[in-house]
Structure 1
Amino acid sequence: MTVDPRVKEVGDIRTTHLFDMVVDLDPRLPIGTGPFGHRVLFGAAGGTFHGPRLQGDVLPGGGDWALFGPDGTMRLDVRLTLRTHDGALLHMTYGGRWATPPALRDAMSDPAERCRIDPTRYYFRTNPLFETGAEPYAWLNDTVCVGSGYLVEGGIAYKVSQVL
Structure 2
Amino acid sequence: MTPQLATRYVFSLAIKVGAPIVAGDIGWGTRRVIPVLGGEVRGPDMRGTILASGADFQVIRPNGFTELEAKYAFQMDDGAIVYIENIGIRFGPKEALDRIARGESVDPSLIYFRSVPRFETGAEKYRWLMEHLFIGSGARHPDRVELDVHQVM
The match for 1:16 is 8
Which amino acid letter does the alignment assign opposite residue 81 of structure 2? L
SS in 2 for 1:27: coil
Counterpart-to-counterpart distance in 2, 1:78 and 1:128: 9
- TM-score normalised by structure 1 residue count: 0.87
Contact 1:130 1:143 in 2 (8 A): no
Counterpart-to-counterpart distance in 1, 2:109 and 2:118: 24
Q: 5 Å matches for 1:131-150?
A: 131-150=120-139
The match for 1:156 is 145
Question: What percent of counterpart residues are identical?
Answer: 28
Q: 5 Å matches for 1:86-101?
A: 86-101=78-93
Match of 2:67 among 75, 88, 93: 75
Counterpart-to-counterpart distance in 2, 1:15 and 1:105: 28
Choose between structure 1 and 2: higher strand proportion: 2
1:59 aligns with 2:51: yes
**Which ranges of 4 or more aligned residues in structure 1 deviate by more than 6 Å?**
none
Counterpart-to-counterpart distance in 2, 1:74 and 1:106: 12
Which amino acid letter does the alignment assign opposite residue 48 of structure 1? E
Match of 1:123 among 91, 112, 117: 112
Give the stretch that moved more between structures: 98-107 or 61-70.
98-107
Which amino acid letter does the alignment assign opposite residue 151 of structure 2? Q
The match for 1:4 is none
Q: Give RMSD over aligned pairs.
A: 1.4
Q: Could you list the runs of 5+ residues in structure 1 that have no partner in the other structure?
A: 1-8
* Greater C-alpha Rg: 1
Contact 2:136 2:147 in 1 (8 A): yes
Cα deviation, residue 107, structure 1? 2.8
The match for 2:96 is 104
1:36 aligns with 2:52: no
Counterpart-to-counterpart distance in 1, 2:140 and 2:94: 17
**What CA deviation, in whole Å up to 9, does each residue of 1:13-32 have, x standing for no partner?**
11111111111012111011
SS in 2 for 1:148: strand
- TM-score normalised by structure 2 residue count: 0.93
**What CA deviation, in whole Å up to 9, does each residue of 1:40-99 have, x standing for no partner?**
000100000101222101000211001111221110011010100100000101111000
